[in-house]
Structure 1
Amino acid sequence: MKGITRILENGVVSKYILGDSMAPWFGGSAALSSKFIEQFPEATQTYAEAYRRAIQDIRDNPDEARQYLVGYTAIEGDLVEKVPLVGYTLYDEFTPEDVAYFQKFFDFMTEKTVFSRAVDVSALLYKPI
């Protein structure tokens, strides 16, 4: 929109690392430590449910949610209407295929020595107590 960039290719992580241009790529997360989860199980559940409500609100009202990109990100002006919103996936929404792609990405990170050892993705996903 500003004429200062151009799209070379979409979905490069999915296409070149995961081997499928339509594969989901989970590039971020909300995290709580195991210690916090064990020490504060009720607060953990409250946090997870508040996060769920926020995500549902973004899914249900994307145009309203976009206004918060201005001032909290480098996205401004008319670009707010064009940028895709994050496709949030909650801990209980991951399919076995999603976890497999997530694991493939973490295995790639291990192979490239970004991680010092292999990481089991399924062990990182929250499981309510």
Structure 2
Amino acid sequence: MRQRRLMNQINVVPYIDVMLVLLVIFMVTAPMIPNATVDLPSVAKASQAPVPPIVITIKSDNRWSVEDRQTQKSASPVKEADLLQDVTNMQGDNPDKPVVIAADKSVRYEAVMKVMDLLKRNNINKVGLLVQQGS
């Protein structure tokens, strides 16, 4: 009886068959993939500087003041009834001008939420909180 010799070569024909089948599958499915469009920012949009916000300050004794950082007007005290009118006047023709609320540490959370709620109910779109970094 003759002994069988071991082959020291790899048979690559099955691998080539598999690769050709995969190539055909990719060639058939490639036209079916929808073209994606990428909306890149334009130069005009990127060069616009951010608009300085309107700052509503709430003091610990529940006094409110409003300041427009764009016109650099100093903070003027305001009553609750007049707050909305002052903010809309400062926004003028730009209703997307941001409004931020700055409150002392000792101010109750209810007072801040009261101002936020008043602004949101009257369609002031961009309302945020002004915070300071801790030391």
More strand per residue: 2
- Pick the TM interval, shorter chain: under 0.3
TM-score w.r.t. structure 2 length?
Answer: 0.23
More helix per residue: 1
TM-score w.r.t. structure 1 length?
Answer: 0.24
